[in-house]
Structure 1
Amino acid sequence: MCGYQDVQVMWEMVRRSEMELSNERKKRKRLLWRLPSWSSRTSSTDLMDPH
C-alpha cells in the first residue's frame, strides 16, 4: 500500500506543477497582448514632436 500512496503523491505533484506552468503561460500571453497596444501609443513620431 505504501508504494501506491507514493505514486498518488507524485501524480498530484506533477498535476499541480503542470497547472502552475499553464497558468504562467496564460499570464505571459496576456502580457504579450498588452505590449503592442502600449508601444503603438508611444510611437517614435510622438517622441520627436516638439509640441
Structure 2
Amino acid sequence: MKKKTINIQLDKDIVNTAKAILKENNLAIDDAVKMLYSQFVLTGQLPFKIGKGKN
C-alpha cells in the first residue's frame, strides 16, 4: 500500500490554540495527527472547512 501525504496550511492562531488544547489534555501533536487521520478515514471528510483564507 502506497502512503499518501496531505499538506495542510493552518493559520498561526489556530495552531497556537490547538497546541494549548493538546497541552491541557496531555496529548502530543502525534496523537492529534492520528486522531485527525482516523476521522478522515472514517468519514472521508476533514473535521473542518478549508477556505480561501484571508485576503
- When the two structures are superposed, what TM-score results if normalisation uses the length of structure 2? 0.30
- 1 or 2, which has the higher helix percentage? 1
- Larger RCO, structures 1/2 (Cα 8 Å, 6+ apart): 2
Q: Indicate the structure (1 or 2) with the bigger Cα radius of gyration.
A: 1
The TM-score with structure 1 as length reference comes to 0.32
